[in-house]
Copies of this chain bind each other. A is one copy, B any other.
Amino acid sequence: MSTVSTKIKERKVLGKKVSFVDANQKVTGKAEFLADINYPGMLYGKILRSPLPHAKIKRIDTSRAAAMPGVKAVITADDVPSNKFGLSVPDVNIFAVDKVRYMGDEVAAVAAVSEEVAEKALELIEVDYEELPGVYNTEEALKEEAPLVHEDKENNIATTYHIERGDVEKDFAACDYVFEDEFETSLVSPGYMEPMGCIANYESNGRLTLWTSIQSAFQARSELARALGIPISDIKVKVPYVGGGFGGKIWIRNLHPICAMLAQKTGLPVKLVLTRLEEFYTMRPRVGAKIKLKTGVMKDGTLVAKQAYVVCTNGAYSWAAPKIMLNMSMRTDCLYRYNSTKTDSYLVYTNTVPTSGFRGYGNAQMHFAVESQMDMIARRIGVDPVEMRLKNATHQGDITLHGWEVKSCGLSECIEKVADDMKEYRQEKLESEGRYKRGVGVACMNHVSGNRAGDKFDGSSAIVKFQEDGRALVFTGESDLGQGAKTVLAQVAAETLGIPLEDVLVEPYIDTDVAPFCMGTYSSRVTTVAGNAVLRASEELKEQLLQLAAKILEVEPEDLTVEDRMVKHRTEPQKEIEVAEVCRIGIRTREAAELTSVYSYDPPTDGIGEDCYGDYSSAYTYGAQAVEVEVDTETGAVRLLKVAAAHDVGYAINPIWFASALMNGRQLLSGGKASGTAVKNKVSLFNRFFKVRI
């Protein structure tokens, strides 16, 4: 096994700069996004949304809309199943029942012959509302007498976490200093270029096909099945090219079951795509958090204990916010060593847009607070903030308080690198004077590569098969959101099989009937987890190929290798055969072999239990960035003068992406078994710091 990870120098495809396998399609505009997929006779759906944040629905009259020429169906909560859905806290209905809970809540929907007709028909739907007092931030929502967003959710609490490692009270008492500070992060919109949408079509066999631009086809399928109250296997989710996701397209939204119901009612395919305006007020933003940190340190800057009190905005319904708050609650201790930590977190309903995942999944919120307080503490106790970070930094081999096993870690190297870089830069520069003051800041980050925190399964599966002419097909259920998943998986398959990259096709559309099961594209998991699934499936497939070639050539399979589309004998050069010929013989003759491999890979990490303890990712990524800024002390305007960034990205599978790797910080291909390799990788890695001078 692991032929790939052991021979870095011999690699022909991995680690090489290659263009995206679908670059040509994208730049020529040929790649098919949902907008390009159309059925003949297809209808268009539109959603009527609540203009009020909190109100009783007293009456809905759809008769005028239904009578409008070109309108094929008008539906409300009365016409759809009443199954509640949602990830960990099922509190959503397909349409708002009895009352609306945020401005944007789905009230009715129309299917019509054109978007224009559907839009007009929405105006003809009459809804009588009785406005209710609402709660618009977590303070209001948590007040004793506050109106309830959901009548069955006491105190407007969606979920809570209480995590304690060690004895923070005892540790605080022993510290030289204890600092308490408060931080707040706001809602941030994912702002993906392609609005969410779908096409629902009931096939002639009664099954529902749903085309949608989504991060997790399989989770979309099961969530949709739950909403519609039908078996999972009655649904086929298909994913075309995806115009960005950034966490905002992990799961379905109400539009998906609504579109399915419109298709069911009309018996025709229905396309429903949100407008940009709809997206602006209903796109699930990053969970807003208020974070109180209490940190105990010694005089020399040694960190001892950290306590966090977290209150998060859930919005009107629970999407991924519970899982995100869980992540947030566990990110108090992952950059630095502590003796103890404690977190109490509260997710609070409000009459605002539901919050959910956006880049980092709880990470950004907590690291903003932790890293801000770090600088504040350093200043207060007179320690250099870089020195303080280096003194406390997590190292390879550490097990964090929450049980993360730090299998590789370039945090200290990253901090040193950006500090050096910034020092060098500042020596060249004039000091700032007068109205314009200059300053330097540094902050660190870490993230996961896969995350078993939320799910028992964090794996991925792949099918890799040879075609008759020696080219290979890869089937994965992991979406390519533009980050290059198809390219990296094709590289892994090509390298492993010993064939050129252009001989590998990753099937461009995901189909949940065809693709093997996987969790989807989030938590920076695809390269590591799906990459390992493709790697292992390819290894098995290559083994099938070599066995067959050995039979044909009458040699031992161990003596064979694949190179330049040929199966070659390692020592007897005359014994060779084209890969294509082996495939042709394997597939079309008595040496019947399907030359197909299916592999389900689950990384060797622990799921976390009730106690939130466990090593939940096979690789953690670390990075540091330093900036110099100039502040206009009169207007407050900030000008960014310099960024120095250093990221431990692991082995860069495609160095052409290094700029985006910097952003994602996660181009790792290292499972637990490859940890020995990770060290080697680190060497090459740190030759590739990425610098930007602005």
Contact = CB atoms under 8 A, between A and B. Distances in A.
Contact of A468 (B514, B517, B589, B590): B517
Interface stretch (A114-122, A440-448, A593-601, A665-673): A593-601
A687 to B, nearest CB: 35
B507 A469 contact: no
Interface in A13-69: 22, 25, 30-32, 38-40
B600 A598 contact: no
A205 interface: yes
B205 A589 contact: no
Given A588-B457, A594-B599, A468 B516 contact: no
Most interface-central of A231, A455, A468, A594 (chain B CB within 10 A): A594
A505 interface: yes
A514 to B, nearest CB: 5
Total identical chains: 2
Nearest to A218: B468
Contact of A517 (B475, B505, B507, B588): B588
Contact of A469 (B22, B232, B461, B516): B232
Interface string A198-210: 0000011101000
A204 B25 contact: yes
Nearest to A207: B505
Given A467-B232, A469-B231, A593 B600 contact: yes
Nearest to A470: B233
Contacts of A471: 231, 233
Most interface-central of A205, A457, A602 (chain B CB within 10 A): A205
Given A38-B40, A516-B594, A593-B600, A508 B205 contact: yes
A312 to B, nearest CB: 27
A508 B594 CA distance: 21
A587 interface: yes
A513 interface: yes
Given A456-B590, A590-B602, 9 more contacts: A25-B204, A32-B204, A38-B40, A231-B471, A232-B467, A455-B588, A473-B513, A592-B601, A598-B598
23 contacts: A22-B205, A25-B204, A32-B204, A40-B40, A203-B508, A205-B505, A222-B468, A233-B469, A456-B588, A457-B589, A461-B592, A468-B517, A475-B514, A511-B514, A514-B514, A516-B594, A517-B588, A592-B601, A592-B602, A593-B600, A594-B598, A594-B599, A594-B600
